[in-house]
Structure 1
Amino acid sequence: MNRRRTSLTISQAAAIFAAALLYLVLLLWWMLPMLRAQPGLHPATHWYLIGFVLFPPMIAYAVWQAHREGANSFAERLTSLNIRPMSQRDWRYAAAGVFSVLGGTGVLLAAWSNLARLDLLPPVETEPWCIDMSPLEGRDRLLLLLWAPMFVLNIVGEELLWRGYVQSRLTVRWGWLVVSLLWLAFHIPFGIPVMVLSLPLMLILPFIFDRTKNTTVAILIHGMYNGPAFLAAAFGLLPG
């Protein structure tokens, strides 16, 4: 078997991110209003259903590119996309990454809130306009059974494509920073507050992947950032 890993330029990486961004914008422009027009559909499910359409193509594209490079078996594709077991060093990086991302986000949130109290900034909006994060009550909590697989697709889809494929093949100095900026741009549709509060994740996670070259580490950090916060909102544990 002849395997050759692709090298990506900044423009090629930017094109991949731009295609994903345009697809996201299309879904928010076309699919979201259609879902909101359905009177019997719980608002929380709108993003869940969009996620089922948004993230699988990311996984498919990353796997397809690995296949094009000659990774034909499941194990070879995992290796091609840098999915491997965690070493002790990886666990240390993952733990440091989770604490750094959560701590950095907390500092930004506190700083924004203080500036808002001084009327130097508008009140911070932690909920993206397109995602309903109101607490789920009673039987509506069963909707988390729909959220869970979408969440897995979200984290795995982004990390396989952004880290496992794009960043690991970007042949430029400071490639992790290039990916950080492109990843930040991908979140433009969610609004400025979300982008600002996501800066620690956008910068720290690609940096750690640059050090570990292990997509499993990135999946863990990303999941520990998104998952607990969403569940806390769903169960009404966040301050109002």
Structure 2
Amino acid sequence: MIGAFAIGTASAIVLIVAIQALGVAILENDLMLTVISTATLQGVGMLGISLWYLSRRGYGLEFLRLRMPTLRHIGLVVVGVFGTFAASIGVQSALTLLGYDGGEHEIVQTATGSPEILLALIPLSFLLIGPGEELLFRGIIQSRFVNRSGVPLGIVLASLLFAVVHIPAYGGLDSLPTIVGLFFISLVLGGLYEYTENLFVPIVVHGAFNAIQFAGLYFVLTSDADVALLLWPF
């Protein structure tokens, strides 16, 4: 996991420096920076380190339990999308009642000045964010935890790790209530993975959850609507 973030960060720096050297003012372009950071972290970093791990261990797709979806899997994707939003809304409501304010994802601040980046993030949610994070956290990390500790504890441990690594994106420990929300959302994804035994399901649910949030935020920022969004893209 650390390797994925290190490789992703290093790749982003190299790519940004190279583009800047070509005379493109990329540091002033929020859209290009967002696309590059997503492509390098989830694409190069998470997907890359996951494929390297599988190759090094001699594992095939059977280890990931990734296969073509059936109609039942498609139906469970729909259920999963509703489930993640239910978890999000439920946790947010509970935190509000207890007097806690959740942290705001850094993408909200960036998108406020450049809403167009959200339109790029919608397809990237399905192409890179969902596949990259689910391959690493569910396909590899959760599978290893489950093999060692059993299904319930394996899902909990993977979800805890998944939530913790998102702390920097929400501004540090002050975002702890929101991180708790991410933990519960991750439990839904982990449960879907074990129940369906098909990584396709959490990948698509993850991508859809983020894409819907990005689309909703774009609508709010580009219209006069005053809509409260639970923007917890992960």
- TM-score normalised per structure 2: 0.70
1:52 counterpart = 2:25: no
Task: Summarize the Cα distance change of 1:238–1:128 in structure 2 as closer, same or farther, 3 Å threshold.
Answer: farther
Q: Residue 132 of structure 2: which of 138, 147, 157 is its match?
A: 157
Partner in structure 1 of residue 30 of structure 2: 43
TM-aligned CA deviation for residue 164 of structure 1: 2.0
Change in 2 beyond 3 A, CA 1:183/1:131? farther
- Output the CA distance in 1 between the equivalents of 2:48 and 2:5: 16
Q: Which of the two has higher C-alpha Rg? A: 1
Partner letter of residue 66 of structure 1? L
Aligned to 1:65: 53
Answer 1 or 2: which has greater helix percent: 2
Runs of 4+ in 1 over 6 A off after TM superposition: none
Report the counterpart of residue 12 of structure 1 in structure 2: none
CA distance in structure 1 between the partners assigned to 2:107 and 2:122 by the alignment = 21
User: What TM-score does the superposition give when structure 1 sets the normalisation length?
Assistant: 0.68
Q: How many pairs does the alignment contain?
A: 204
Root mean square deviation, CA, Å: 3.4
Name the SS of the counterpart of 1:83 in structure 2: coil
Tell me if the contact between 1:84 and 1:214 (Cα under 8 Å) persists in the aligned partners: yes
Q: Which deviates more, 145-154 or 198-207?
A: 145-154
Partner amino acid, structure 1, of 2:69: M
1:136, distance to aligned residue in structure 2 (A): 5.0
- Partner deviation per Cα, 1:99-152 (whole Å, 9 max, x = no partner): 11101211222333455xxxx33x444433786232756xxx3x5564356432
SS at match of 2:110: coil
**1:190 alignment counterpart:** 169
3-state SS of 1:86 partner: coil
- Select 1:223's aligned residue among 207, 218, 228: 207
After TM superposition, list the pairs within 5 Å mapping 1:138-177 onto structure 2: 141=116, 143=117, 146-148=120-122, 150-151=124-125, 152-170=127-145, 171=147, 172-173=149-150, 174-177=153-156
Higher RCO (CA 8 Å, separation ≥ 6 residues): 1
